[in-house]
């Protein structure tokens, strides 16, 4: 259902309320032996609730064969003092402290946070080199890349506290910082909205040695001024996505579709959607990504706890398995496991 203006990213329910709501949506796990790497989740505490290792552990024990996960920039526990460029290193330190405190526990059975994608303001230019090295050291072999959010839209969509300028990807200072990633073997996770995809294509062509991971399929918006225009937006997004896919250094995270930005409205239902309902709504977007990039450049993601606004962890992976039902064994292996394992250098069998 379309959201009324102004759209806000505020959760419809707190995380505690979500857990109660989602308890009514238990499903039998499909293909429980299929190995999965979840390449995108967060750890965070906010006014809406807590999602840290214990909560992640509950989701990892849902019945799917989650072999490892990748933690992604959550804007949490940054250092409160010292040079501004270095403060995001505190988040990587926090993740390692959390893992140390959890061991030994069932939270470690699935190797959570096997990879870490941290945050850094790349507009510091060449100054980011020291901060990147500090992230790598703090990650103790787990640090894999940076996400410096890029999302911007010329509308009254309220998309959170991080509001980078429209020209961030073309800013020479940003590009100077971006240039420091490849020499250290680090990836860049790109979180943006669909009108910005051409800018990302230009960035990818300008830095062909840097692996760029498009987050959340490039977020074709379905809320605010984009509500009620799904077919039109889909065609615009698909054309931009196909052009981006011509850049061999770009891969895509297939997920994030449970976020409010997409405008499906599942979060407002009295009873959570089933995996079959989710698969029906999400299939055109997922199949477009796979068609454009190929399974070896696509990876399914949970984006939890954010996508928990629409479904449970178990239901989300069931939905992806339904969509991928017609894929070959090799294609499924890439989509659910292999691409993420390779791109984030997790070294799993």
Domains of the chain in start order, with CATH, are: 33-343 (3.20.20.140)
Give the max Cα distance, the chain. 53
- Say which DSSP state 250 is in: E
Q: What is the pLDDT of residue 158?
A: 62
Q: What is the pLDDT of residue 335?
A: 98
Q: What is the pLDDT of residue 8?
A: 42
The encoded tokens of residue 231 equal: 């077919």
* pLDDT < 70 stretches in the chain: 1-11, 103-109, 158-162
Q: Is the dihedral of CA 244, 250, 256, 261 positive or negative?
A: negative
Tell me the whole-structure pTM to 2 decimals: 0.95
Q: What is the pLDDT of residue 104?
A: 61
The encoded tokens of residue 60 equal: 């990892």
The encoded tokens of residue 19 equal: 């857990």
């Amino acid at each position: 259902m379309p959201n009324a203006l102004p759209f806000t990213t505020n959760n419809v329910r707190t995380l505690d309320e979500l857990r109660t709501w989602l308890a009514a949506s238990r499903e039998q796990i499909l293909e429980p032996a299929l190995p999965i790497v979840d390449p995108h989740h967060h750890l965070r505490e906010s006014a809406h609730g807590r999602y840290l290792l214990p909560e992640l552990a509950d989701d990892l024990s849902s019945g799917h064969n989650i072999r490892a996960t990748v933690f992604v920039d959550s804007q949490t526990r940054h250092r409160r003092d010292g040079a501004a460029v270095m403060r995001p290193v505190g988040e990587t330190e926090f993740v390692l402290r959390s893992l140390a405190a959890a061991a030994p526990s069932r939270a470690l059975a699935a190797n959570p946070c096997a990879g870490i994608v941290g945050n850094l303001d790349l507009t510091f230019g060449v100054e980011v080199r020291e901060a990147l090295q500090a992230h790598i050291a703090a990650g103790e072999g787990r640090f894999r890349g940076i996400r410096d959010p890029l999302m911007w839209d010329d509308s009254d969509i309220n998309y959170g506290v991080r509001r980078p300028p429209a020209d961030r990807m073309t800013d020479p200072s940003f590009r100077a910082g971006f240039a420091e990633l490849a020499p250290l073997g680090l990836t860049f996770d790109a979180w943006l909205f669909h009108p910005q995809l051409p800018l990302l294509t230009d960035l990818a062509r300008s830095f062909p040695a840097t692996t760029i991971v498009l987050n959340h399929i490039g977020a074709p918006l379905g809320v605010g001024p984009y509500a009620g225009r799904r077919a039109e937006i889909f065609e615009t997004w698909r054309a931009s996505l196909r052009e981006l896919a011509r850049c061999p250094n770009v891969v895509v995270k297939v997920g994030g579709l449970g976020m409010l930005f997409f405008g499906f409205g599942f979060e407002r239902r009295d009873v959570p959607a089933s995996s079959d309902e989710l698969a029906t709504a999400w299939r055109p977007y997922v199949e477009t990504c796979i068609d454009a990039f190929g399974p070896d450049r696509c990876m399914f993601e949970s984006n939890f706890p954010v996508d928990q606004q629409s479904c449970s962890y178990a239901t989300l992976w069931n939905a992806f398995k339904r969509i991928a039902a017609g894929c070959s064994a090799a294609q499924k292996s890439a989509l659910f496991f292999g691409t993420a394992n390779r791109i984030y250098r997790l070294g799993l069998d």
